[in-house]
Amino acid sequence: MPELPEVETVRRGLAPVMEGQMITRADVRREGLRWPFPDRMAERLTGARVLRLGRRSKYILADLDTGETAIIHLGMSGRMLISGTELGKFHHDHPAPEKHDHVVIDMENGARVTFNDARRFGAMDLCATDAVNDHKLIATLGPEPLGNDFNDSYLVEALKGKNTPIKSALLDQGIIAGLGNIYVCEVLYRAHIHPARKSGRIAAGRIAGLVPIIRDVLSEAIESGGSSLKDYRQADGELGYFQHAFRVYGREGAPCQGEGCGGTIARIVQGGRSSFYCPQCQR
């Protein structure tokens, strides 16, 4: 599933062709994806102008001049792909529709944005812009890890006394919004913390030290265009590159890259998800 860096990369790719532009036509080709689409979604999108593209956790938020906001979740395999834009002197025509092109949005500048989702775990909804923070998908989310509300004092207090493994705690969207399996593995490796350690038994100083590491890992991933493992693509169709910088994720049996370590990357399963770590570096 795309995590915060992938969703932020897609948002940044969409912004130049969508912000300030009117949606001239919205073609909704099925009744829904993970959940049914809202009533009259095509009609409510058509003619609306996109004022701003934002992001909250793993959701893209498109504020419209109609007073509504489109909430978009990519799910497991969703892609938001752009066609028809000019790159230098070359104009790219729109490709023929594909089987899993479920929502197609034409912009007044000639760009087309296509929501393609082979596994149909994605979602789209519309709600009043002034009620977005109360939407069922948004209301329970914790602070953004790259925002000012996420700091060492907050994280120490949030994890104090918790019997939950630190890996599970960092994946809890009510504690931190947007972190997923890949980046939590990488964060814990850099912090030298075993993924099964109980959150409440880790010293406050080590918990506080997670904050800058989380920011660094996410920022580096965004700069690299996210991580492409299976389905993920940037809005221009290109792959992300952060997977080439993984130090533990997906590297079971490979040597640890820590200087002088000599350990071997191991894998355990926590909550149905694989956790990759170095038994020697992470305690």
b/e map 110-126, b = 16+ CB within 10 Å = ebbbbbbbbebebbbbb
Pair 169, 155: CB distance under 8 Å: no
**φ, ψ for residue 245 (rounded to 5)?**
-105, 5
Q: Which of 18, 8, 16, 134 is CA-nearest to residue 65? A: 18
Concerning whether 36 is annotated as a catalytic residue, the answer is: no
Concerning whether 273 is annotated as a catalytic residue, the answer is: yes
Q: Mapping DSSP to helix (H, G, I), strand (E, B) and coil, where does residue 66 land?
A: coil
Catalytic residue among 12, 25, 206, 273: 273
Catalytic residue among 55, 56, 58, 167: 58
234 vs 60: CA distance, rounded Å: 14
276 vs 265: CA distance, rounded Å: 7
DSSP 32: B
Q: Which of 214, 73, 152 is CA-nearest to residue 222? A: 214
104 vs 51: CA distance, rounded Å: 19
Q: Which amino acid is located at 199 in the chain?
A: S
Concerning whether 247 is annotated as a catalytic residue, the answer is: no
Concerning whether 38 is annotated as a catalytic residue, the answer is: no
Q: Which of 68, 38, 63 is CA-nearest to residue 50? A: 63
Token pair for 142 = 């914790």
As annotated, the active-site residues are 2-3, 58, 273
